[in-house]
Amino acid sequence: MSTFQAPKGTYDLIPPRSAKFLAVREAISAPLKNSGYGYIETPGFEDVALFSRGVGESTDIVSKEMYAFETKGGDQLALRPEGTASVLRAALEANLHKAGNLPVKLWYSGSYYRYEKPQAGRYRHFSQVGAEAIGTEDPALDAELIILADQAYRSLGLSQFRILLNSLGDKECRPVYREALQSFLRDLDLDEETRRRIEINPLRVLDDKRPDVRKQLTGAPMLRDFLCDACKAYHEEVRDLLTAAGVVYEDDEKLVRGLDYYTRTTFEFVHDGLGSQSAVGGGGRYDGLSEMIGGPALPSVGWALGVDRTVLALEAEGIELGIPATTSVYAVPLGDEARRVLFGLVTELRKAGIATDFAYGGRGLKGAMKNANRSGARYTIVAGERDLAEGAVQLKDMESGEQAPVALDALVTTVRAKLA
Ligand code: AMP
């Protein structure tokens, strides 16, 4: 151990577990790449105001969890706590919404930072793969994103997840509901902080997980009863499209999510094997966000799936991803001349696309064979002076234990044929 450790709330991804993270990112992005989403990458930090305006001053994410700092040049920046505001900012800055067809469909993958209280499944540095469809109001787009996330999770073999679905209304009906909810909440027995929340963001009080609060919330006015006709019709269409696609979801009228920018469709993917941090991903429509950050009206929808929690979900379900061994062939030279010849063969095998590793450090045969075993390689190539004098190497099948000489110039084709 060195003097240093990973900062509190963070952890390192190290082999072999790190391979699962790569596989999860790949599995989540594959359906997006297949559906017209282009890859976008934005900086790890942004103007702090982008998040306070976009995500919302009253949210925990902005008010408590943001890594905000002033640069030497006096700029007020923050490490990104989420992806949507940055992606929309970048799309607007590049005028993607003017360049061609709407919606602008983008996907991303990266690290996010929140100064949270660390616990299992909740970290200060975590990673997400996300998707945003910008500039179009169409229930089929909302449905598409939910279907693609469902597909991603299923492609990983996950089955113990549920999709929670709700509509948060729009700028017509939400304010009316908000007022009705506020007058209901003001009569409850709540602590100071929650009372303040009633005034700033009453919908989030509905999301309170404390049993004594939950009990008092029975009988609270529900947004469903306040939705305007347009929102109702929109939501019905999303639900119908999901059902037609065979996606199972649960209506959850209390689902509000922790970010202020959502309108209409909101959803969360929860996994039942994860304990209290059960949300593996979430998203929704954010028709007002563009205007909130100074852009034109651009109704949009998106989601972000947490990579860390998806890996935990795989582990909770006992799913092995069948990640192949990283090395197919391991070369063990006996002596200096063999070292030069085999090192050349290793390069040739690699050029042929065969994952190959080499016994470095000139250790003895026994130690080298141990490493060959550990590498998971299916084949080992061993050669000493006598083999080379005959123009051959010994090719050993690590599964059957069989070993046979193979001519040097036939090695690549032989190994390729055997691995196929
Ligand atoms: P949110 O942006 O809060 O909707 O989060 C979307 C997803 O990111 C969640 O469902 C989690 O899977 C993941 N996530 C959010 N915050 C954390 C965190 N602190 N640690 C690990 N994963 C997180």
The model's pTM is 0.92
Cα–Cα distance measured from residue 403 to residue 395, given in angstroms and rounded to the nearest whole number: 6
Domain 329-419 in the same topology as domain 17-173+227-316 = no
Token pair for 193: 């902080």
Least confident of 95-99, 268-272, 348-352: 95-99
Q: Is residue 80 lining ligand 1, measured as CB closer than 6 Å?
A: no
Token pair for 336: 């200096």
Q: Is residue 164 lining ligand 1, measured as CB closer than 6 Å?
A: no
Structural Rg of the chain based on CA atoms: 27
- Between the CA of 306 and the centroid of ligand 1 the distance, in Å, is 5
Helix (H, G, I), strand (E, B) or coil at 120: coil
CATH 3.40.50.800 for domain 329-419: yes
Ligand 1 atom closest to the Cα of residue 82 is 2
pLDDT in tens, 173-223: 989 999 999 999 999 999 999 998 899 888 888 888 899 999 999 999 999
Q: Is residue 279 lining ligand 1, measured as CB closer than 6 Å?
A: yes
Residue nearest to atom 3 of ligand 1 (CA): 258
Q: How many CB atoms lie within 10 A of CB 275?
A: 12
Residue nearest to atom 14 of ligand 1 (CA): 306
- Pairing outcome for strands 263-271 and 250-251: unpaired
Q: How many CB atoms lie within 10 A of CB 130?
A: 26
Strand partners, 215: none
Largest CA distance in the chain: 93
Dihedral of CA atoms 259, 279, 157, 111 in degrees, nearest 10, equals: 60
Pocket test for ligand 1, best of 8, 84, 111, 112 (most atoms within 8 A of CB): 112
Domain edges within the chain = 17-173+227-316, 329-419
Read off the pLDDT of each residue in 33-45 and give the average, rounded to a whole number: 98
Q: How many CB atoms lie within 10 A of CB 47?
A: 15
What pLDDT score does 259 carry? Answer: 66
Least confident of 203-207, 257-261, 268-272, 377-381: 257-261
Q: Is residue 126 lining ligand 1, measured as CB closer than 6 Å?
A: yes
Ligand 1 atom closest to the Cα of residue 257 is 4
pLDDT in tens, 323-364: 888 899 999 999 999 999 999 999 999 999 999 999 999 778
Q: Is residue 306 lining ligand 1, measured as CB closer than 6 Å?
A: yes
What pLDDT score does 57 carry? Answer: 80
Q: What is the DSSP string of 379-413?
A: EEEEE-HHHHHTTEEEEEETTT--EEEEEGGGHHH
pLDDT-based confidence at residue 258 (cuts at 50, 70, 90): low
Q: Is residue 108 lining ligand 1, measured as CB closer than 6 Å?
A: no
Do residues 199 and 183 make contact, with C-beta atoms less than 8 angstroms apart? no
Read off the pLDDT of each residue in 80-97 and give the average, rounded to a whole number: 97
Starting at the edge strand found earlier in the chain, the sheet holding 76-79 runs 45-47, 76-79, 68-70
Cα–Cα distance measured from residue 382 to residue 380, given in angstroms and rounded to the nearest whole number: 6
pLDDT in tens, 148-171: 999 999 999 999 999 999 999 998
What pLDDT score does 183 carry? Answer: 95
Strand partners, 270: 162, 279
Q: Looking at the predicted structure, is the pLDDT value of residue 1 above 90?
A: no
Do residues 333 and 341 make contact, with C-beta atoms less than 8 angstroms apart? yes
| Domain 17-173+227-316 fold | BirA Bifunctional Protein; domain 2 (3.30.930)
- Between the CA of 177 and the centroid of ligand 1 the distance, in Å, is 28
pLDDT in tens, 222-239: 999 999 999 999 999 999
